[in-house]
Chain A
Amino acid sequence: MLRLDAVEAGYGDVMAARAVSLEVRAGEIVALIGSNGAGKTTTLRAIAGLLPLRGGSVELEGRRLSGLGPAAVVAAGIAHVPEGRQLFPTMTVRENLELGARTAAGRARRAETLTRVFELFPRLAERLGQLAGTLSGGEQQMVAIGRALMARPRLLMLDEPSLGLAPVVVGAIFANLTAINRDGLTILLVEQNVLRALRCSHRAYVLENGTITLAGDSATLLADERIKRAYLGR
């Protein structure tokens, strides 16, 4: 469904992603793991059109996305839950969610999607009129995910949804990702929480210093000695 071929992106002199190639197939949860500064966020931003590609190509269902801006990428069917959530803090939860429905599909199925978001995150239904900036970190993450779902994407990308959240909350968020995937949505998940990410995904890629160094089934990677030593502290 999504294919990255030798993608390069960076900032000024920093080449943060060097020749990143990966594939996400329809229906999968694919994890992109790696330590801090490995280039995970850079890769997602390049896919989302928020950072220009310096080389390589991005394709969604055979259609080239390279060179498109963020608006066109969203319209093509990729929704992004960015690092740091990037909500609209002085707007209400409802406004934040509804602003996610900017695609044709999202607009057409707004009410239906909103109902599904409330099923996944009942807490949001109670907080609809509250300003997003006044929510707890976990609730803000729920809004960020809900806002992305409102676009009715074909592919959902998440950048460290567990960052800064209490373990219980992280557990709930990951359970929700599995539920969203069962609805039929394909997911590309970026995480530093390697154990959680490998447990919830089908396949995974390991990113180090801007390049993919390891790839495979998540179950296999969970048992891999190199992964255990470098990321699981065992």
Chain B
Amino acid sequence: MAVGLTLIFGVMRVVNFAHGDMMVWGMYLAFVLSTRAGIDPYVSFVVCAAALFVLGVAVQRGLVDRILAAPHEMQILLMLGVALVLENTALLAFGPEPARVRSPLARLTWDVGPLYVDVARLVTFGLAIVLTLALSLFLFHTERGRLIRAAADNPYGAMVIGTDVRRVYATAFGIGAACVGAAGALVSPILPFQPPTGLSLSVTSFNIVIIGGMGSLLGAFIGGLLVSVAESLGAVFLRPSLKELFSFSLLILILLLRPAGLFGRRAS
């Protein structure tokens, strides 16, 4: 989800419009694994992450690599192209009907006093925290991770110390896509989806990243919480179809008060 986007943007300054569609592919993969092989999405998210990692590396190596030096508009066009290809392949493969993955967890609720706690959401939330923590550990405490941060901080400096920057980018893009794939699988029992869902997911995760601050993992996580709270409140107090109104109002408000986002660093 947003954490993956933050990583890709933070490292390569590439705006990845294919983000939502990659997530939808994670969802369909979970769907196929669940219907054909009977694997629960709370298990198969690992497989989805691995598959999307490979897809991410392939997109980076085959396409993004060629245009890293090109102006930003070119990158946006390229990623929109990738998004269209992914969305339409999903349409061809799975058809336009909404799909939903069944998981026994999704039917469980806990009664805690006056509250119903949805077990599936709780598990998803817990795993999201674990994944974010694991990613931070990787970025701050392994050499590979430090290289990714170094290349994000100063790509030329990373080349000077003898780093194959393209390889670091491929890893970063792959990990970013893997986060998205895992996220897709984890929300697939909660959120019904169809191929065009990708676009709205992309928009939501941009919203999250901008609110949290470009390039900050913690920001992406907090931004995600804020957006989902805003959208739930919107759905309760207005109409479910108007929930985005809340999150976008939040976006505008935050951009007015803190143009760099909650945890963003000002461009220097």
Interface on A for B, CB 8 Å cutoff? Answer: 48, 50, 69-71, 73-75, 80, 82, 86-91, 95, 98-100, 102-103, 147, 151
Contact = CB atoms under 8 A, between A and B. Distances in A.
7 nearest A-B residue pairs (beta carbon): A74-B162, A86-B157, A88-B153, A71-B162, A88-B150, A70-B159, A102-B162
Contact of B160 (A75, A86, A90, A95): A86
Contacts of B72: none
B160 A48 contact: yes
A100 B161 contact: yes
A69 B158 CA distance: 13
Nearest to A69: B164
Contacts of B158: 88
A71 B163 contact: yes
Given A89-B268, A102-B163, 7 more contacts: A71-B162, A71-B163, A73-B162, A86-B157, A87-B154, A99-B150, A99-B161
A95 B164 CA distance: 18
A231 B183 CA distance: 63
Contacts of A147: 161
A91 B154 CA distance: 10
A87 B150 CA distance: 9
A50 B149 contact: no
A31 B161 CA distance: 22
Contacts of A70: 159-160, 162
Contacts of B149: 88, 90-91, 95
Contacts of B160: 48, 50, 70, 80, 82, 86
Nearest to A70: B159
Contact of B154 (A71, A74, A89, A95): A89
Contacts of B164: 69, 71
A69 to B, nearest CB: 8
A89 B156 CA distance: 12
